Amino acid sequence: MKLSVRISLLSMAVTTTFGTMMAAPAVKPLAVAFPGTNALLVQWVVTISSLFILPTLFMAGNLGRRFSRKKILIAGLLMYIIGGVGPAFMNSFEMILAFRALLGLSIGLISPTFNALIAENFQGKERSRMNGIQTSINGIGGAIFLSFGGIIASFGWRDVFLTYLYAVVLFLLVIAFLPKFPPIQSEVVAKGTAKLPKFFFAVAAAAGLHSMMFTLIPTNLSLYLSNNGIGTVASVGYLTAFALVGVFVGGLAVTRLSSMLKKRLVPLDLAVMAGGFLLIGSAHTVWTVAVAVFMIGLAEGMLFPLSFIKTAEIVPKLSLTSAISLMLACVYACQFLSPLFVKGIEQLLHTDSTRGVFMAIAAALAVSAVIYMPIARMRKNGAVQSIS
């Protein structure tokens, strides 16, 4: 596959997690600009897109049988630009949420389409490498834009949404370099409707949960820093960028580390993420928060591509598109639910302190890391016995 096509495909990565997170620096300024708005609704400016990804996410398969994947990506990117930039010109909070919903619909078209193209056109270590690079691009792209976003947020929340104009470049790349990739043939689709392995559903659920943990950073960091007197409005942007630098490093390292550590990599990632939440839960300085969010991003940068790698290993090739759509549905649904998850833990612990929530998450992740190895060992032994 030509380098220009690879670049065009990989450039789509920044529209997924990054697309929803770019509004993070605007959370606090929006809370000030709309003082009568419930704090949960303000947080939904970041996460409501994840909910509206779901309808078009499941439509993408049907559309792929009727239209070329290039046309789907072009339509998705047009919606992405409108939904991303639109809130900058709105004076109603409801209209801001409406444009964020449109942004989600666009990602639901883009994400499964380019992920399926990668799964279909790359195999083995090359697919693993593409998944790792994809995650790294998402991380470093987000780090760059969110750094600017934090600075821009100090001038006003409207300017944060104007940064979505970067998608015009992606739109031009797709038009200029991406082949049409014809619609999926109906007989291939029919063969690809085989029952998915049971273990895949565990992988999809785990992907959703660790994505939710990472999403707690952009959705809670602005109010957390403000309530604890740490940093400034601009700090939100570059601290979230630190998390995404961690994602970048983790994505680059995942292929090599997975071959070296094998099944030990997952519990190690969970332990690193637990350490990050423990550190941010006890932080009192900007640099402590920076180290904490970097650790959380580093773990997510490895866990996210590992989910795709494991899916490609256990799911038959012809079922990959369906599996990827289902796994992404779990990821985006959990991202949307992350503010409600925080509220639930606060009620469970009878506290309104985000610090307490972060400490509880650190403890849960540490326990998960401890119990993962025996479960993985039992599954491996079961697989060996079934073969023999």
| pLDDT for the residue 376 | 66
Domains of the chain are 3-377 (1.20.1250.20)
Band of pLDDT at residue 337, cut at 50, 70 and 90: confident
Could you tell me which of 1, 210, 167 has the C-alpha nearest to residue 75? 167
Looking at 13-27, 263-277, 356-370, which range is the least confident one? 13-27
| pLDDT for the residue 54 | 85
Neighbours of 339 (CB within 10 A): 22
Residue 213 has pLDDT above 90, yes or no: yes
Looking at 37-41, 234-238, 285-289, which range is the least confident one? 234-238
Looking at 157-166, 262-271, 314-323, 324-333, which range is the least confident one? 314-323
Band of pLDDT at residue 378, cut at 50, 70 and 90: low
Q: Considering only residues 143 and 170, tell me which one the structure prediction assigns the higher pLDDT.
A: 170
Band of pLDDT at residue 83, cut at 50, 70 and 90: very high
3-state helix, strand, coil in the chain (%, to 5): 85, 0, 15
Residue 215 has pLDDT above 50, yes or no: yes
Q: Considering only residues 284 and 141, tell me which one the structure prediction assigns the higher pLDDT.
A: 284
Neighbours of 286 (CB within 10 A): 15
For tokens 């993420």, name the residue. Answer: 273
Which residues are within 8 A (CB) of 39 and not within 5 positions of it... i.e. 6 or more apart?
31, 223
pLDDT in tens, 308-319: 888 878 887 667
> pLDDT exceeding 70 applies to what percent of the chain?
90
| pLDDT for the residue 119 | 74
Residue 351 has pLDDT above 90, yes or no: no
**Are 64 and 321 contacting, i.e. CB atoms less than 8 angstroms apart?**
yes
Q: What is the DSSP letter of 211?
A: H
| pLDDT for the residue 169 | 92
What is the rounded radius of gyration, in angstroms, for the C-alpha atoms of the chain? 20
Residue 338 has pLDDT above 50, yes or no: yes
Band of pLDDT at residue 146, cut at 50, 70 and 90: low
Residue 218 has pLDDT above 60, yes or no: yes
Residue 383 has pLDDT above 60, yes or no: no
Residue 272 has pLDDT above 50, yes or no: yes
| pLDDT for the residue 185 | 58
Q: Give the integer Cα–Cα distance in Å for 286 and 11.
A: 31
Report residue 181: phi and psi, to 5°.
Answer: 45, 90
Looking at 100-109, 275-284, 304-313, which range is the least confident one? 304-313
Which residues are within 8 A (CB) of 17 and not within 5 positions of it... i.e. 6 or more apart?
138, 142, 211, 335
Question: What's the whole-number mean pLDDT along residues 62-91?
Answer: 91
Query: pTM for this structure?
Result: 0.74
| pLDDT for the residue 273 | 97
Could you tell me which of 1, 12, 14, 20 has the C-alpha nearest to residue 218? 20
